[in-house]
Amino acid sequence: MAESDPAEFLRDIPVFAGVPNDELQALAASARAESYRVREYVFMEGDAADWFCVVRSGRIKILRQSRAGKEVVLELLGPGEPFGGVAVIEGRPYPASAQAAQASVVLKIPREPIVALAERRPAIIREMALMIGRRLRDAHDSVKSLAVDSVEARLAAALLRLAEREGAPGPGGLALPFPLTRQTLADMTGTTVESAIRVVSRWQKDGIVRDDGGRLVLPDLDELRALAEGEPG
C-alpha cells in the first residue's frame, strides 16, 4: 500500500480515461517511479522530451528562469497531474524546467510506448487537447492578472486558484494541503519575496489567512475574492 499499482494510479487520470485495462497495464509496465528531493530537477528547460510524467506524490513546480536568475513559476502541480506531455507529443524539447517544490515521487513513462498508444487510441490525444486547453485558459488568466492587477490582487488570486483545486475544508477555514513558501508564492505572481511577505503578514494580522506550520489556511474566502478583484475591500 506504500506503493500502489501504477496501472491503477493511471486509471484515475483523465488522459487515460478511454484506454482498456490491458493496454494500460502494458503502459504502466514501462513506467518507472522516481523520487526527488526538494529543489531537485525532474528535467530542465531544453532537455529532450523523453518522458511523459505524472506527479504521484508531493509537489512539482514548472518554471522558467530569467537571465538575472529570477524564477517564474508557471504551474504548481500536485498528485495526479501530468506534465511534460505537450513536449512529448510534439517531439520538441521541454519548454520549461520541472523542479520538486518538496520531496516528491514522479511516475515517468518513456516517450515511445505512449506515442504508440496515442496512435492507436485517439481518445488519449483528445483528452490531452482538453487538458492543454484548460491550461491555456489558466495561462491567459495569469497574463491578464499580471497585466492589470496589483501585487495584492495577484497574490489573492493565486491563493484562491490553489484553494479551489486542492483546498481541504478544516475547522479554521479552507487549508492548502501542502507547504508553500512566500518565495514560491512570489515566483508564481511575478513579484519579490519581500512584497509577498509584507502582503501575507498584513493578511495574517487581518485574519484573512493563517499560517499553520508552513501550510496556509484561508478562513475568509470572500474577503480574498474581493481583494483578487481589486475592490476597496
Partner DNA sequence: GGGACGTTATGACGTGGATCATGCCGCGCG
Partner DNA sequence: CGCGCGGCATGATCCACGTCATAACGTCCC
When asked if residue 116 is in the footprint of its own copies (CB under 8 A), the reply is no
Least separation in angstroms between residue 201's CB and DNA is: 4
Question: Where in 14-53 is the site for its own copies (CB under 8 A)?
Answer: none
Pairwise CA distance, residues 153 & 139, whole Å: 16
Pairwise CA distance, residues 33 & 104, whole Å: 10
Alpha-carbon dihedral sign for residues 219, 225, 230, 231: negative
Judged by CB under 8 A, the residue of 140, 165, 202, 225 near its own copies is 140
Q: Give, in order, the Cα–Cα distances in Å from 2 to each of 55, 66, 124, 151, 184.
A: 15, 39, 28, 41, 29
CB under 5 to 8 A by kind: which of its own copies, DNA, none does 133 bind? Answer: its own copies
Q: Residues 148, 149, 151, CA angle at the centre, nearest 5°?
A: 135
CA torsion angle 103 163 207 153 (round to 10): 110
Least separation in angstroms between residue 225's CB and its own copies is: 13
Least separation in angstroms between residue 123's CB and DNA is: 40
Judged by CB under 8 A, the residue of 128, 160, 180, 228 near its own copies is 128
Q: Map residues 89-108 to x or -, x wherever contact with its own copies holds by CB under 8 A.
A: xx----xx------------
Judged by CB under 8 A, the residue of 116, 148, 168, 225 near its own copies is 148
- The alpha carbon of residue 217 and the mean position of all alpha carbons in its chain are separated, in whole angstroms, by 19
Least separation in angstroms between residue 13's CB and DNA is: 29
Least separation in angstroms between residue 190's CB and its own copies is: 3
Alpha-carbon dihedral sign for residues 158, 160, 163, 166: negative
When asked if residue 225 is in the footprint of its own copies (CB under 8 A), the reply is no
Give the side-chain half-sphere CA count within 13 A for 91.
Answer: 2
Pairwise CA distance, residues 17 & 175, whole Å: 29
CB under 5 to 8 A by kind: which of DNA, its own copies, none does 200 bind? Answer: DNA
Q: Using CB under 8 A as the criterion, which residues of the chain lie in contact with its own copies when the complex forms?
A: 64, 66-68, 70, 72, 74, 86, 89-90, 95-96, 122, 125-126, 128-130, 132-133, 135-137, 139-140, 142-144, 146-149, 189-190, 229-230
